[in-house]
Amino acid sequence: MAFGGEYILRPRSWRRLLRFAGYATVAAFSLSAYGPLARAVAVRQIHLTAWKILPGYLVAASLLSLLLIEVVATAARQYGVEQYSLELVLRVLVLELVPLLTALFVALRSGAAIGAEIAIMSYRGELDDAEEASASPLHAELVPRIAGAALSVASLTTLGCAIAVWLSYVVFYGFTSAGQDEFTHIVSNVFDGGELAAFLLKFLLFGLAVATIPAATALEAERGVIKSVPAVVLGGLVNLFFVILAVEVASLVVKYI
C-alpha cells in the first residue's frame, strides 16, 4: 500500500488515470449514460460541488478580486502607468487567478469527498460486484459524478469571472455608465481570439482534472483493506494539485515566454 504522496511518482497510477479519464470523458458525452438514476446522481453531485459551496466561493472570489484590483490600481498610480492598470487587472485576475482559485476551491471542497466516496465503494467491492452483475459502474456511478463536478467547475468559474469583471468596472469607473465604451474596448482587447481560446482550453482542462483525478485514483483502493482508503484519497488530491499547477504553469509559459 502506498502513502498519498507516493502516487505522484507511480507511472502505473498515471497510466490508469489517463486511461480512466479518456473512457470517462467519452462516456460523459454519451446521452445513453444518463438514465434516471444517473441523472439523480449528477444532480446530487452538482448540489454538493457547486450549490452548497456557492456562498463561500462568492465571498472568496469577491475579496480576492477587490484586493488585487486595489493593489494594482494603487501601484499603477504610484508609477504613473494608470492607463494600463485595468488591462493588467483583467489579464491577471480574470484569465489566470479566478480559474485557478475555482479549481482549487472545488478540489478542496469536493475532490476529497468524491475520492472518499468512490474509494469506500472500491473497499466494499461494490464496483466489482456491479461488474460481475453485468452492470456498468462507470456509467451508473462514476460518469454522473464526473459530469456534475466538471459542470460545477465551469459554472463557478463563469460566475467568478463575471464578478471580477463587474468589480473591476465599479472600482475604476464607479456606479455610472460613463466608462462603458472605454471598458468595453479594453475587455475586447484582453479577450481576443487567441486569449479566449487559451482561456477556454485551460477552463476545460481544470474541469476535467477536478472531475476525473480524485475518482481515478480512488479506484486503487484495495477491497477489504480499510487503510488503503485514506491513502488513495490523499494521493488523488496530490495528483490533482500537481496537474492543476502544471496546467497553469504551461499556460503561462506558452503565453508569456
- 58-85 pLDDT, tens per residue? 998 899 899 989 888 888 878 877 788 8
Q: Which pLDDT score, from 0 to 100, does residue 206 have?
A: 92
For the ranges 135-149, 177-191, 225-239, the maximum mean pLDDT occurs at 177-191
- 120-143 pLDDT, tens per residue? 888 887 766 544 434 455 556 677
For residue 229, pLDDT over 70 is answered with yes
Place of cell 472518499: 116
Q: Which pLDDT score, from 0 to 100, does residue 165 have?
A: 93
Q: Phi first, then psi: what are they for 179, rounded to 5°?
A: -100, 15
DSSP secondary structure letter of residue 240: H
- 9-40 pLDDT, tens per residue? 567 777 877 887 777 777 777 766 667 777 78
Sorted by where each begins, the domain ranges of the chain are 4-256
Q: What is the DSSP string of 19-68?
A: HHHHHHHHHHT-GGG--HHHHHHHHHHHIIIIITTHHHHHHHHHHHHHHH
Q: What is the DSSP string of 126-163?
A: HHHHHHHTT--HIIIIIHHHHHHHHHHHHHHHHHHHHH
Rounded mean pLDDT of 171-196? Answer: 87
